[in-house]
Amino acid sequence: STSDSVVTLLDYGAGNVRSIRNALRHLGFSIKDVQTPGDILNADRLIFPGVGAFAPAMDVLNKTGMGEALCTYIENDRPFLGICLGLQLLFDSSEENGPVKGLGVIPGTVGRFDSSAGGIRVPHIGWNALQVGNASDILDDVGNRHVYFVHSYRAIPSNENKDWVSSTCHYGESFISSIRRGNVHAVQFHPEKSGEVGLSVLRRFLDPKSSSKQKPEEGKASKLAKRVIACLDVRTNDKGDLVVTKGDQYDVREQSNENEVRNLGKPVDLARQYYKDGADEISFLNITGFRDFPLGDLPMIQVLRYTSENVFVPLTVGGGIRDFTDATGRYYSSLEVAAEYFRSGADKISIGSDAVYAAEEFIKSGAKTGKSSLEQISRVYGNQAVVVSIDPRRVYVNDPDDVPYKVIKVTNPGPNGEEYAWYQCTVSGGREGRPIGAYELAKAVEELGAGEILLNCIDCDGQGKGFDTDLVKLISDSVGIPVIASSGAGTPEHFSEVFETTNASAALAAGIFHRKEVPIQSVKEHLLEKSIEVRIKMQ
């Protein structure tokens, strides 16, 4: 390839940059990896997708001399695009495990979103709108459209840095969503995860001349959108093929003589379809991961690799994330399992059973060991990369004092007229009930470092009768991290219902999408009609 189609990438090996690589290849560019500071100085165009935490990133930049090279490159006004942490590192310092000194190119300190002041959930996860200033050509196609953010720290616009700020975003307060001076750009959001709008940002940076000057039709984005997530429960069927399946209350076998595993399609094909249809995120759950070792289950890794090649929205993968000793006696830590998932294209991992054990332990001892998979993965990759999936089952009681768990008054009484219920957590795909409620679990995992909760409900799963809004309300009112409502969606109205009656940040569905009963687009259109902010994909 000619130098016109080469982009230099600064990847210091801290996490998933597969998505940005895939996006660049998709746009017809080949990638040259930075090996030495000289490679930075010699780049024609440089992309710096910062991942992980601020302090370790600065450490690497300082030790390798890359930091100095970066500063020189930027001072010389060479084409630069920083992404996420790649924006934050340009500032004077960060409060993330700090204060820690940054590259000092832009005046200001990077601080944490203040959840108490803004009444907001931290991390800031999801599709938000930008207020774009004048000198921001790479954002020309964004207009009033949503782009994808995932972060807990942000820089604030000030008098000292106002010449740099090219757009701001509102989340409890106004923060810097992009900077630009001459050929130097950086964005706090993830263009490689922002669908077609995001790809257009990359395209305009990579090839400013070829981009059309035509402004897009205006979108309607004004604030953080409610997300609509498509979920693929994946397992190997009896023939040995990896299939997307779907249970009724977690039972995935057909009610026929053969009793085979229900087969609703191929994981990669379905994920691509949902991306095209406008899904804001895609989750893969390896539902037999609790008994089969996921790194032995290479197909799941392949699914992520293939999917991330041309699906440019966030991908979550769950199932089997825990420490494991295989048949030969080799020990794998949960961190290794997660690392492999991240390397293969996952943006977030989701922990089910192992988080239940960790929460039980934490509640019993009152102390954090730091050793659970949840704590370790969250420490290394940040809490925004760790979802806890809860699989609760409703247990009716007559009296709130009957059990030592959080009990709520239910909207619909139980079979014997019970007016109360608690939600018992389960492990191993709903097979075993544990002595802990969904409420207790949610509070505990938030403290242990979960960045988001995927809230299923076994009673509602596959029933198409709507989400359990009692449960979703209980949990989304009790934690400060985003909650994804799951299980039971049957119509577009079920989505507006859960968003109007609870504080859920996202709603997830499986069956209605797989069976093509309700297209994602209809869900979005219905939510728009109800004046609920959603992301509408760029045509």
Catalytic residues: 84, 190, 192, 233, 391
The minimum distance between CB 165 and ligand 1PR, in angstroms, equals: 40
Q: What does the alpha-carbon distance between residue 492 and residue 115 come to, in Å, rounded to a whole number?
A: 31
Do 109 and 99 meet the contact criterion of CB atoms below 8 Å apart? Answer: yes
What distances in angstroms separate CA 81 from CA 57, 178, 205, one per listed residue?
17, 10, 8
DSSP structural state of residue 538 = -
Dihedral sign of CA atoms 88, 480, 194, 161 in order: negative
Strand stretches in 309-369, DSSP E:
315-318, 324-325, 331-332, 348-351
Q: Of 191, 319, 382, 451, which lies in the binding site for ligand 1PR, with binding defined by CB under 6 A? A: 319
- Nearer to ligand 1PR by Cβ, of 184 and 387: the residue is 387
**Residue range at the interface with ligand 1PR (CB under 6 A); choices 273-281, 306-314, 319-327, 477-485:** 319-327
**In this complex, which beta carbon is closest to ligand 1PR, that of residue 247 or of residue 437?**
247
In the window 212-241, what residues touch ligand 1PR (CB under 6 A)? 231, 233
- Told to check if 321 binds ligand 1PR by CB under 6 A, we report yes
Asked if 459 touches ligand 1PR (CB under 6 A), the answer is: no
CB of 152 to ligand 1PR, least distance (A): 23
Among 488, 499, 505, 535, binds ligand 1PR (CB under 6 A): 488
Interface with ligand 1PR in residues 146-185 (CB under 6 A) = none
Nearer to ligand 1PR, 172 or 319 (CB): 319
Q: What is the DSSP string of 427-467?
A: ETTTTEEEEEEHHHHHHHHHHHT-SEEEE--TTTTTT-S--
Cα–Cα dist 194/280, whole Å: 9
Query: What are the residues whose beta carbons fall under 8 Å from the beta carbon of 483, sequence distance 6 or more?
Result: 442, 452, 453, 455, 472, 475, 476, 503, 504, 505, 506
If you write DSSP's letter for every residue of 220-259 in order, what string do you get? Answer: ---SPPPEEEEEEEEEE-TTS-EEEE--BTTB-B-SSSS-
User: Which of 221, 489, 520, 523 is in the footprint of ligand 1PR by CB under 6 A?
Assistant: 489
Our finding on whether 309 is near ligand 1PR (CB under 6 A) is: no
Q: Hey, which residues between 346 and 375 contact ligand 1PR (CB under 6 A)?
A: 350-354
Cβ neighbors of 1 (< 8 A, separation 6 or more) are: 30
**Residue in 470, 539, 530 with CA at minimum distance from that of residue 501:** 470
Tokens encoding 35: 């090996």
In a 13 Å sphere around the CA of 33, the CA atoms on its Cβ side amount to: 8
Structure tokens at 527: 């939510």
Q: What is the CA radius of gyration of the chain?
A: 23
User: Looking at 41-49, 87-95, 215-223, 317-325, which segment touches ligand 1PR (CB under 6 A)?
Assistant: 317-325
Please, are residues 180 and 205 in contact by the beta-carbon 8 Å criterion?
Answer: no
Q: Is 250 in the site for ligand 1PR (CB under 6 A)?
A: yes
Question: Using CB under 6 A, which of 190, 246, 494, 526 touches ligand 1PR?
Answer: 246
Our CB check for ligand 1PR shows the closer of 389 and 496 to be 389
Show the site string, 405-444: x = touches ligand 1PR by CB under 6 A, - = not.
------------------------xx--------------
Backbone angles phi, psi at 187, to 5 degrees: -130, 140
Contact 495, 187 (CB under 8 A): no
- Binding test (CB under 6 A) with ligand 1PR, winner from 446, 461, 470, 533: 461
Does 94 bind ligand 1PR (CB under 6 A)? Our answer is: no
In angstroms, give the least distance from the CB of 147 to ligand 1PR: 26
- Using CB under 6 A as the criterion, what x/- string covers residues 511-530 for binding ligand 1PR? x-------------------
Q: 265 in helix, strand or coil?
A: coil
Residue number, 19 or 350, with CB nearest to ligand 1PR = 350
Candidate list 8, 334, 383, 487; residue touching ligand 1PR; CB under 6 A = 487
Q: Residue 509, interface with ligand 1PR (CB under 6 A)? A: yes
Cβ at position 507, least distance to ligand 1PR in Å = 9
Q: What is the identity of the amino acid at 159?
A: N
Query: How many CB atoms within 10 Å of residue 363?
Result: 15
- Does position 314 bind ligand 1PR by CB under 6 A? no
Contact between 289 and ligand 1PR by CB under 6 A: the answer reads: yes
For ligand 1PR, the binding residue among 128, 136, 188, 456 (CB under 6 A) is 456
316 binds ligand 1PR (CB under 6 A): no
User: CA of 91: how far to CAs of 54, 82, 136, 176, 509, in Å?
Assistant: 11, 12, 19, 11, 40
Binding positions for ligand 1PR, 258-287, rule CB under 6 A:
285, 287
Binding residues for ligand 1PR, per CB under 6 A? 231, 233, 246-247, 250, 252, 285, 287, 289-290, 318-321, 350-354, 389, 391, 429-430, 456, 461-462, 486-489, 509-511
